[in-house]
Each structure stands twice: as structure tokens, then as C-alpha cells.
Amino acid sequence: MKLGIDGLKLPEAKKRGPLASLDHVKALGLSGIFFSTVLDMSPTLDRGLLREIRSKADELGLYLESGVGKINPYCSAEAPEFRAIGGGDIIAGFTRMIEASAAIGCLELWVSPGNFKPAYPGRLANDRFRTDVGWDEQLAGIEKVLQRLAPVARDHGAHLNIETHDEITSFEIVRLIEAVGPDCVGAVFDTANGLQRAEHPVFAARRLAPYIRQTHIKDAYVGRAPGGLDFQTRPCGTGIVDFAAILPILAKANPALNLSLEVAQSTEDKRRAANPRQCIEIDDPVWRAGHPDLTAEELAAYMAMIDAYEQRVASGAVPDWEAFEASQYGYPTYEHQSYGFNEAVGFIRRSAQHIERLCADQGIALSAADGQRKAA
């Protein structure tokens, strides 16, 4: 296994560009980069540039992963670049992206089933609860897109890997994989996103283990709040996710799996207002009805996990939502942009050290990077 980082959250990734970002990853002591889509490497799918990126990654001993994008057809208008790269045909666009990725040996390709809309409150931030089109219809549309792309993926020996994104459950991902075929569809396991669907991360890891081909390694705060539960991204080891239990599951299922940290994005890279409370409306009857696969056993384990974490918060072992928001890792307002480059690097360091320590303690082989962790 190798420990790297999600390219979208790498500080200054857009400013430096893909080639210089490889140097940055190496300098941070990480072992690879996971670009969300191949368009993040080259918006025009320039084959020469893509080969140059591949060559440099190989020279630096870094893994290189990529993706295709949002494949929910009801969200297509929110990502016009995928249609544009296909000359107006989104399936042609995705096909070109698969072909370009495969040409540089990127055969594990991220896809996502929706978008998160932070401007909307509670469950309405998720496509799962859209009122203009039902979630079952969206899942059917996603399956149709995957079926259209499956022959292309098979022809190139690639997998389209569905992320455990904010709006989808691991149960639904397994059904999609089995419907289209595990020979060309897999999973990207985000260790924290399932918390928003009341899934216990260890239960989800076990469910998805045979299909996990890419990862987003992320931790989170989850605690009781008005309207349900608060969710807030935290450095690995300081949140609710039990990596000590999850990492052996991943290593046993796929010893060659890359672990890609997904950290809070620097406000120097993306200016924003204060991070809104991301409410999980777990007590709302509509919300509960929208999760028919959730068992009483898993829900009980999930709530027990929250109770245990809240005890850590109450003891002062970890900061509560407000204290973290005000800290160097918090999400400041436009007027107070304190979570910048150095703070984001600190977030990466803390997360990487936790994962490395757990792997060492449990005898999980984690390929070491040659770089030194520094703000490069």
C-alpha cells in the first residue's frame, strides 16, 4: 500500500499545475496523487502532456490515479466540461476521458453519483433528497450511464469506481457494481462520507471490501446538534473514524490499494464563507424513510460510536464543533482567511502521521516515500 493525497485538496495544486504538484507531493513525503478527473491533468486531454505527467510520476516513484467525473445524468448540467470534451455528447466525453486515462496507465477511475450543495439546508444539500426527480430514478440513470460506458472500460482493462459520496449508500454501490459487473466497476471508499448516511465506517468497509479499488482517507467530527447531527471534516485520528479497525480490512482485501488523504481545502485555494453546519437529519421521518437498507444493528452501532466520541469531546480530548471552527484548522470567513497553505500542510502532516503509525503498529506494509515533509 502507498499513502498519497487527493489532488483537489492538495494545497496550491491549481496554482502549481499537475507537473509541479508532483514535486510538491514528493516534498511532502507522500507517495502519490489522485487527480479527481483526467481533465485536472489536462483540460484538453493533451496526450503529450498526459504522457509527461505519467513519466514524471514514474521518475519520482509516485502513484498516479485519476477519474472520469459525475455520472448522475440528472446532474450533467452542473458539470458542462464533461459534455464539452465530447463535443456536446457527454457519453463521448466520458469515453474520451477513459481512453486518455488508459493510455497513461490510469486504469482505476473515480466516478461520483452526485453533487453536494452546501447552500441548501439539511438533507436538501444532497441529490438523494431532490424533489424534482426521485433517488431511485437517479440510481437507474446512473446504472444506464455505467452500462453505456462498461464496454469502453472493459476494452481498456479499466474500472469505473463509484465513490461512497455524500448522497449514496454502500448498499446501493454494491448493487450497482453487481448489476453492471465487477470486472469494470468498483468502489472508491471514502472513510467518512458514509457517516452522512448513518453508516458505520467499519460496517461499510466490510461490505465494500471486495470491490474497493481507490480510497479517500478522511476523518470527521459527528455529534448531536439541533436538527440532528453535525458533520465536520477533521485530521485523521482526531475524528470518529476507527482507522485501526478499517486499515486491516482494506489491506487484507487489496494489499496494493493506494490510500489517498482527502483533507480540508486551503482557503488560499478556495475562498469561502464560514463552513455551514452540515446537518444529518437522522431523526426526521423523511430522512429515515430514505434509508431503507439501514439495519437496527448498524444504526445502534453508529449511535454508540457517536456516544463514545461525544464523551471524548466532553472530556476535552478533542475540540467540539465551535472550538475546532475557531482553531487553525477551522473554516474562516472571507474576512478572516486563516486556514491557508501552512495550516493545510499541517492538516496533511497530522493525518499522514496517524495513518503511518497505525500501519506500522499493525504490520501493514506501507511503501515509504523518500521526500521530507515540509512546506514546499
Check the CA dihedral 156-256-53-111 and report its sign: positive
**Ranges assigned E (strand) in the chain:** 2-6, 32-34, 63-70, 108-112, 159-163, 185-190, 212-216, 219-225, 228-234, 258-261
How many C-beta atoms lie closer than 10 Å to residue 9's C-beta? 24
Residue ranges and CATH numbers for the domains of the chain are 2-361 (3.20.20.150)
Distance of CA 295 to the CA centre of its chain: 24
Supply the pLDDT for residue 308. 98
Supply the pLDDT for residue 331. 46
The reported pTM is: 0.95
Supply the pLDDT for residue 373. 46
Supply the pLDDT for residue 375. 47
| Cα separation, 62 vs 4, whole angstroms | 8
Supply the pLDDT for residue 324. 86
Q: Residue 283, class by beta-carbon neighbours within 10 Å (0-12 exposed, 13-18 middle, 19+ buried)?
A: exposed
| Cα separation, 213 vs 217, whole angstroms | 13
Question: Which of these, 15, 29, 13, 10, lies nearest to 374 by C-alpha position?
Answer: 29
Q: At what angle do helices 13-27 and 47-60 cross, to 10 degrees?
A: 30
104 touches 64 (CB < 8 A): yes
Supply the pLDDT for residue 6. 97
Residue with cell 476523518: 219
Supply the pLDDT for residue 122. 86
Supply the pLDDT for residue 270. 82
pLDDT tens, the chain, 376 aa long: 999 999 999 999 999 999 999 999 999 999 999 999 999 999 999 999 999 999 999 999 999 999 999 999 999 999 999 999 999 999 999 999 999 999 999 999 999 999 988 888 889 989 999 999 999 999 999 999 999 999 999 999 999 999 999 999 999 999 999 999 999 999 999 999 999 999 999 999 999 999 999 999 999 999 999 999 999 999 999 999 999 999 999 999 999 999 999 998 888 888 765 556 789 999 999 999 999 999 999 999 999 999 999 999 999 999 998 888 877 655 443 334 478 899 899 999 999 999 999 999 999 999 866 544 454 4
Max Cα separation, the chain? 57
